[in-house]
């Protein structure tokens, strides 16, 4: 009985933890051996523990003895759990904790890449920046032209990057190439991109050294990633000085699928009546089109997306013929129809694997009429793509896959000139296939090495080429990093040449890039130097690929969201030295699409009290070369410098569930003369400057978006 009682007392006592006690103390450090204050050090599954003080020291009394687990837990650090044996004597526990990895502590490859994304933090731009950049007029390419590396080209569409022409930049949507990313245009008048910036949640603008996932762009790729499911069901309505548009996007109640459409119509006739244009428009530009989309979350990690786009456009233009002295005008009438479709599916396969599948079909037909000719030009592309990605360890990945593109190009010309009729028809088919493999190997979280290669084959060239690509990035500190990139990039010759002659071999560029950048919440500083070598460029003089060239330069970007209250501005500067011998060039010269110096200042200010967001963009480019046939020194003339000041403003207002934006913009406010080059008459007696069709472009628009968020309604009704 006594024994039981003793036991009873003993158990009671022990249950209150008076029996055995151990003093546990020690010091917790970080990886740099600096003391860590605030760390929670405790015995697992008990109350016993303490937080470290300012010197990283802790001390507490543990009730248990024997085998226990000591836990060290602290925000931003990897938790430590360690088995120890406590006896009744004092116990010392010292350790150092490792910072846990998050996006900000892990290096990413930045050489040649400028990214706009909401999801990633270390990007230099946000998708919203593209819409709010003055002078860009809501055009993706317009906004990207304010970034270093891109040229200010006004006479034709496209991104001219680091000494490359517009055809050297390829546009990719969700991994699939877009054959005709821009509206068809009249000669010497640049057109806009077809796709609205609101479609995309992420934009990667590569100015070189890009991933082996992509190909056929010797200078650059513009990789766009479409939005996922919308946050709510909504409808939109837009009325502007150039047209009207509207759309509806429905989010299913279960929030796992959405479907939508939009329609728009634009006609520049009323605008051209108000604002005089230099060329005479026989038919003002008209655009009618729309898009449909469907997105479905097929599982927690699976996503199916479909996007379909169609557009019809029409314009007619008469321009004074330079060869005529009696006021004769050339005619150019263009009727275009374009369809683009994109279907993608991605899903996780088990723990480590990810699969991306895509298919796309597009067709584009231009019907062009001049006084003498009627031209029909068709360009179709069908493609498929499959990519597998596998995670290795915490950070590293390996990615491989392939793509296939079938293209059909045809040009038919029916004409009558100098008294006889002619009919020409040229078609080319091409089967392009590519395979790639690429690994991002994290040697440490601060050091990543990307190694990859891409193999490409076209039936038109019947040659298989392999282009190696590699880059390294190293994080110098929390905010700064350096990176280097090298890569070879092949591109098949332009279809215009392929119609008429068989030009052997791909064009080729080799990039060497070094980059240093520092990004924090409020500032970005980026500097990049590069050397780019061109080989096997198309030489039309002897129909070979014996052309060559190089480009080298410096790109600087500075963005500051802090110094001036409510102001966000960026400055970019581009210096380039480039020469090439290609097409019909008799010698190696700087091509007309490269200005030695280009600089942009983009300024955005938000006036909170006025509900007004406003900004301006000032762009400068030094004069560009142009061909003057009267000057024996080929391509040695320079245009005047280019200046452009664009302003924009948006007044924002929310009334109940309607969100309204009243936006305006004006390009070239000051009215600087902008000359993109010169055209010479056949007899070389006369020349005419290539200029924009009007000095300025004015835009006013009202955008309404009606959200149908049920919780909002609830709030309104409750009040």
Residues forming the site for another protein (CB under 8 A): 1, 4, 7-8, 11-12, 15-16, 37-40, 42, 44-51, 71, 73, 75-76, 102, 104, 118, 121, 126-128, 231-232, 520-522, 608, 611, 652-654, 656, 659, 709, 711-712, 714-715, 718-719
Using the 8-state DSSP alphabet, how is residue 105 labeled?
G
Nearest distance from residue 606's CB to another protein, in Å? 8
Nearest distance from residue 10's CB to another protein, in Å? 10
Judged by beta carbon, residue 587 or residue 609, the one nearer another protein is: 609
Strands 40-43 and 49-51, how do they pair?
Answer: antiparallel
Judged by beta carbon, residue 47 or residue 353, the one nearer another protein is: 47
Nearest distance from residue 198's CB to another protein, in Å? 13
Judged by beta carbon, residue 300 or residue 350, the one nearer another protein is: 300
Nearest distance from residue 49's CB to another protein, in Å? 5
Strands (E), 268-349: 280-299, 302-320, 329-349
Q: Which residues contact 288 (CB under 8 A, 6 or more apart)?
A: 264, 265, 266, 311, 312, 313
Judged by beta carbon, residue 351 or residue 608, the one nearer another protein is: 608
Nearest distance from residue 217's CB to another protein, in Å? 29
Chain position carrying tokens 């990413």: 108
Burial track 208-239 (b if 16+ CB lie within 10 A, e otherwise) = bbbbbbbbbbbbbbbbbbbbebbebbbbbbbe
Nearest distance from residue 116's CB to another protein, in Å? 10
**Of residues 49, 61, 57, 75, the one with CA closest to residue 21:** 61
Query: d(Cα 637, Cα 678) in Å, to the nearest integer?
Result: 10
Nearest distance from residue 613's CB to another protein, in Å? 10
Judged by beta carbon, residue 15 or residue 631, the one nearer another protein is: 15
- CA 97 to chain centroid, in Å, comes to 38
Judged by beta carbon, residue 425 or residue 712, the one nearer another protein is: 712
3-state SS string for 629-688: CCCCCCCCEECCCEEEEEEEEEEEEEECCEEEEEEEEECCCCCCCCCCEEEECCCCCCEE
Judged by beta carbon, residue 122 or residue 674, the one nearer another protein is: 122
Using the 8-state DSSP alphabet, how is residue 129 labeled?
H
Count other Cβ atoms within 10 Å, centred on residue 391.
13
Query: d(Cα 186, Cα 195) in Å, to the nearest integer?
Result: 19
Phi, psi angles (nearest 5°) of residue 211: -65, 150
Nearest distance from residue 74's CB to another protein, in Å? 9
Judged by beta carbon, residue 178 or residue 251, the one nearer another protein is: 251
Judged by beta carbon, residue 141 or residue 519, the one nearer another protein is: 519
Query: d(Cα 309, Cα 341) in Å, to the nearest integer?
Result: 6
Query: d(Cα 84, Cα 61) in Å, to the nearest integer?
Result: 15
Nearest distance from residue 108's CB to another protein, in Å? 15
**Cβ atoms 317, 282 nearer than 8 A:** yes
């Amino acid at each position: 009985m006594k024994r039981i009682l003793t036991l009873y007392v003993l158990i009671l006592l022990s249950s209150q933890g008076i029996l055995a006690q151990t003093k546990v103390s020690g010091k917790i450090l970080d990886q740099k051996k600096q003391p860590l204050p605030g760390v929670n050090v405790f015995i697992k599954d008990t109350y016993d523990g303490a937080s470290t003080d300012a010197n990283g020291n802790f001390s507490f009394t543990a009730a248990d003895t024997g085998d226990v687990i000591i836990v060290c837990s602290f925000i931003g650090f990897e938790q430590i759990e360690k088995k120890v044996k406590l006896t009744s004597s004092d116990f010392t526990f010292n350790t150092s904790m490792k910072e846990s990895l998050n996006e900000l502590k892990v290096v990413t490859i930045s050489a040649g890449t400028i990214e706009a994304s909401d999801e990633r933090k270390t990007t230099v731009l946000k998708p919203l920046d593209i819409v709010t950049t003055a002078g860009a007029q809501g055009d993706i390419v317009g906004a990207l032209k304010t970034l270093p590396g891109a040229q200010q080209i006004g006479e034709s569409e496209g991104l001219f990057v680091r000494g490359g022409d517009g055809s050297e930049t390829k546009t990719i949507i969700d991994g699939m190439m877009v054959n005709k990313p821009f509206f068809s245009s009249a000669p010497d008048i640049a057109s806009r991109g077809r796709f609205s910036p609101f479609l995309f949640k992420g934009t990667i603008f590569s100015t070189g050294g890009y991933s082996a996932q992509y190909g056929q762009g010797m200078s650059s790729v513009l990789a766009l990633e479409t939005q996922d499911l919308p946050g709510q069901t909504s409808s939109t309505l837009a009325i502007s000085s150039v047209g009207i548009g509207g759309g509806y996007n429905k989010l299913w109640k279960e929030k796992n699928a959405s479907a939508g459409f939009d329609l728009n119509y634009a006609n520049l006739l009323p605008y051209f009546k108000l604002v005089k244009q230099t060329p005479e428009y026989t038919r003002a530009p008209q655009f009618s089109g729309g898009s449909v989309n469907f997105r479905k979350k097929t599982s927690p990690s699976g996503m199916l997306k479909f996007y379909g786009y169609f557009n019809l456009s029409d314009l007619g233009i008469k321009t004074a013929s330079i060869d005529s002295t009696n006021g004769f005008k050339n005619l150019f009438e263009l009727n275009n129809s374009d369809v683009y479709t994109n279907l993608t599916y991605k899903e996780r396969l088990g723990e480590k694997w990810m699969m991306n599948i895509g298919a796309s079909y597009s067709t584009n037909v231009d019907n062009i009429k001049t006084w003498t000719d009627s031209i029909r030009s068709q360009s179709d592309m069908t493609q498929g793509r499959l990519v597998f990605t596998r995670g290795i360890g915490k950070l590293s990945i390996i990615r491989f896959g392939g793509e296939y593109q079938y293209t059909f190009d045809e040009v038919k010309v029916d004409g009558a000139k100098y008294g006889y009729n002619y009919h020409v028809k040229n078609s080319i088919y091409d089967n392009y296939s590519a395979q790639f493999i690429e690994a991002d190997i994290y040697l440490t979280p601060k050091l990543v090495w990307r190694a990859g290669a891409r193999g490409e084959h076209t039936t038109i060239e019947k040659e298989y080429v392999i282009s190696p690509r590699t880059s390294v990035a190293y994080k110098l500190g929390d905010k700064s990093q350096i990176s280097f990139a090298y890569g070879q990039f092949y591109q098949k010759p332009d279809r215009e040449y392929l119609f008429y002659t068989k030009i052997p071999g791909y064009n080729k560029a080799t990039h060497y890039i070094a980059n240093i950048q520092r990004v924090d919440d409020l500032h970005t500083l980026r500097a990049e130097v590069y050397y780019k070598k061109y080989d096997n460029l198309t030489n039309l003089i002897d129909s070979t690929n014996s052309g060559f060239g190089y480009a080298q330069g410096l790109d600087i970007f500075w963005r500051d969201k802090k110094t001036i209250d409510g102001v966000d501005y960026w400055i970019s500067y581009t210096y380039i030295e480039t020469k090439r011998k290609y097409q019909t060039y008799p010698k190696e010269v700087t091509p007309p699409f490269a200005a030695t110096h280009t600089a942009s200042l983009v300024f955005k200010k938000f006036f909170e009290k006025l509900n007004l967001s406003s900004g301006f963009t000032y762009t400068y480019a030094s004069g560009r070369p142009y061909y003057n046939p009267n000057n024996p020194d080929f391509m040695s003339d320079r245009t005047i410098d280019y200046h452009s000041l664009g302003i924009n403003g948006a007044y924002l207002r929310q009334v109940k569930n309607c969100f309204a934006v009243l936006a305006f913009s004006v390009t070239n406010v000051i009215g600087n003369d902008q000359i993109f080059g010169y055209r010479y008459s056949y007899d070389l007696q006369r020349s005419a400057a290539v200029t924009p069709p009007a000095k300025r472009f004015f835009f006013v628009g009202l955008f309404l978006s009606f959200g149908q968020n049920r919780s909002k309604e609830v709030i309104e009704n409750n009040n």
